[in-house]
Structure 1
């Protein structure tokens, strides 16, 4: 598949997530997309920093997308910092001031506002790092062997 075909098959939020992940890498964070911290929640991007920091980034592609999100506050207990990622046309005045803000596109991003830090308890951090590692390993294995069926 050419890059143009891949790009056209991605949803707007997935394109934002790609730009966010690229930007996080420039800050020495590694990231995974669509991680499930607990039943009923699925974060768009989770970043793991060089000192074990855990950031969650929710990508919103429109006003309707943001206004229909009823679960975002449930993500706060699973990270050290929480960010919204939106494109330059998004009405940022809708976003809570006490959260981080990232302006992104499909290719890169810029952190506009860093939200407050709420350090995870060590036991919660250990759980999240394990979930991150397993999620990343499953994604890597699936990329290497797409015909393999795995059970979560």
Structure 2
């Protein structure tokens, strides 16, 4: 898989997100934006996995937020530990109705869809400089492509790698 495709404008809404997950995404996104983070939903990581939310802080720190809308959603997901290789901090985000069912070593954000609060801070595990550079570029490229696509939607053209 190439690091970047010339036209990798990934959909922010692709039909896989439940209304409950979108509610969590909105509330968490608002909190992180207020904290000074650039927030990019549904970012494809170098592993091919897709992070629900990835953020880039003003200090360059990269966070991944794994959204869980219900207990069944959490139980069905065994891939979240792989995300730790692509961030400085990993958080779970959910609603108070779901409760704190998440691993104690990971961060936790709770939201009602409008406001959110960090309930438990995430353990810091610093990325190596090459991984940070790769991810920072991926976040910036994806965000700028999506912004441009919103401004100037056009048919996708296949570009050789």
TM over 0.5: yes
Residue 125 of structure 1 aligns to a residue whose secondary structure is helix
Q: Which has the higher contact order (CA 8 A, sep 6+)?
A: 2
TM-score by length of 1: 0.87
Question: How far apart in 2 are the matches of 1:146 and 1:39?
Answer: 28
Aligned to 1:48: 56
1:119-139 Cα deviation digits (max 9, x unpaired): 000000000000101110121
Calculate the aligned-residue CA RMSD, in Å.
1.7
Structure 1 residues 151 and 28, CA, compared in 2 at 3 Å: closer, same or farther?
A: farther
Aligned to 1:98: 105
Stretches of structure 2 lacking an aligned partner (at least 5 in a row)? 1-16
Structure 1 residues 142 and 69, CA, compared in 2 at 3 Å: closer, same or farther?
A: same
Matched, 1:115 2:103: no
Would you say how many aligned residue pairs link Structure 1 and Structure 2? 143
Aligned to 1:145: 152
1:4-53 Cα deviation digits (max 9, x unpaired): xxxxx962212211111110011111100000112431011111000100
Question: How far apart in 2 are the matches of 1:113 and 1:47?
Answer: 17
Corresponding residue to 2:21 among 13, 25, 34:
13
Query: What's the offset of the Cα at 1:83?
Result: 0.3
Corresponding residue to 1:74 among 79, 82, 104:
82
Query: What's the offset of the Cα at 1:143?
Result: 1.2
More helix by share: 1
CA contact (8 A) 1:59 1:86 kept: yes
Residue 51 of structure 1 aligns to a residue whose secondary structure is coil
Aligned to 2:72: 64
Matched, 1:133 2:140: yes
TM-score by length of 2: 0.83
Matched, 1:33 2:7: no
